[in-house]
Amino acid sequence: MKKIVASMKIALRALEVNRTRSALTMLGIIIGVAAVIAMVAVGAGATARIQEQIQSIGSNLIIVLPGSISSNGVRLGSGAVVTLSEDDAKAIAAECPSVSAVAPAVRGGVQVVYGNNNWATTAQGVTPDYMTIRDYTMMSGQFFTDQDVDAAAKVAVLGETVAQNLFGDSDPTGQVVIIKNVPFTVAGVLTPKGQSPTGQDQDDIILLPISTAKGKVLGTNQANAKAVGSLMVQAIGPQAMDEAQQEMESLLRERHRILPGLEDDFTIRNLTEVFAAQETSAHVMSILLGAIASVSLIVGGIGIMNIMLVSVTERTREIGLRQAVGAKTRDILSQFLVEAVTLSLVGGIIGIVVGLVASWLISYFAQWSTVVSPLSIIMAFVFSALVGVFFGYYPARKAAFLDPIEALRYE
């Protein structure tokens, strides 16, 4: 132990003597460690953002769309049912045990007018269940009720983007907006959700009771007055997702009278699964970024080995002298090993600080969220120490096994 302390002192002295060189050698490790920390932080930031977005669309969400995307709505079966309907929604809610809530929805583009302002947005006709399924909360006012749906009341709930554009900072609750010449009373404003995983502004929306939307704004399907654009379904839990999907599929096939062997006239998509795949890819990206940054750490380690080899050659006489006055193999070995590890550790500590600053700068200037994990700091520190040991061992061994006679005579 005393010996280690002693050789650390010797090492620090030797590094002090060649200050510029030591600093330049450390630079390799500093850049390596900083790169690892910053890149892992960027990757973790991306993952965290995607997780946040997945949270924002609601949990255990399944969406049922009419027709299949590939056949573009062209039915191959001979049934009479054209699309999904409000009755389908009611049937799913009643008959599928793995489903906790169903919300039918219709949507369409509308122009919303308030005073001198107007704003083009998407109107969605929904039921109050939609609020539960999408995990919406109210920033002000109230969501409309089942009574409003039954009565086809002329009430609307605004997304934050719509509210901002029409009302600025004042509270729109209780005000009247005009959609397709129909006046709607604003019942409330939704708490903003930000971007969806696909990059859409989830707050650029206006929610209406589905009955009102069909009757007054978006129009009714001529073939089937109860037709809806989509069904939002919430499963009772993350484990029930597959079951819920199967239950719905068989129920809808039965209701739509699709013969075995024929294609579905609807598409069921597990949204959580879709976005979980995105999360995985973000995670892979962060691992890749970290791996690439690790390469620079290894390059830094080679820099240390290079400088240590130069240093051993330069100090051959010193090594010879130390051997002559009684330094054993392990004394010399530990002296140079400690020197290399000191270089890499000091570089590692500075690199951690630089990495933290870099992560902060990236999130501040590039508006790119970064998450610095304590694990990546510990890993970077340990890894830089290992780099010192690994790349310092060869030069140190070379020094320790020099022949004292030749070393003393070395010019």
Note the residues at the interface with other proteins (CB under 8 A).
2, 6, 10, 13, 17, 317-318, 320-331, 404-405, 408
CB of 12 to other proteins, least distance (A): 13
CB of 317 to other proteins, least distance (A): 6
CB of 33 to other proteins, least distance (A): 30
C-beta of 187 vs 337, nearer to other proteins: 337
C-beta of 74 vs 325, nearer to other proteins: 325
C-beta of 1 vs 74, nearer to other proteins: 1
Q: Contact, 15 vs 342, CB < 8 A?
A: yes
C-beta of 80 vs 325, nearer to other proteins: 325
If DSSP codes are grouped into helix, strand and coil, which group holds residue 79?
A: coil
CB of 374 to other proteins, least distance (A): 37
C-beta of 275 vs 336, nearer to other proteins: 336
C-beta of 283 vs 397, nearer to other proteins: 397
Q: What is the DSSP letter of 308?
A: H
CB neighbour class for 307 (10 Å; exposed up to 12, middle 13-18, buried from 19): buried
CB of 373 to other proteins, least distance (A): 41
CB of 20 to other proteins, least distance (A): 14
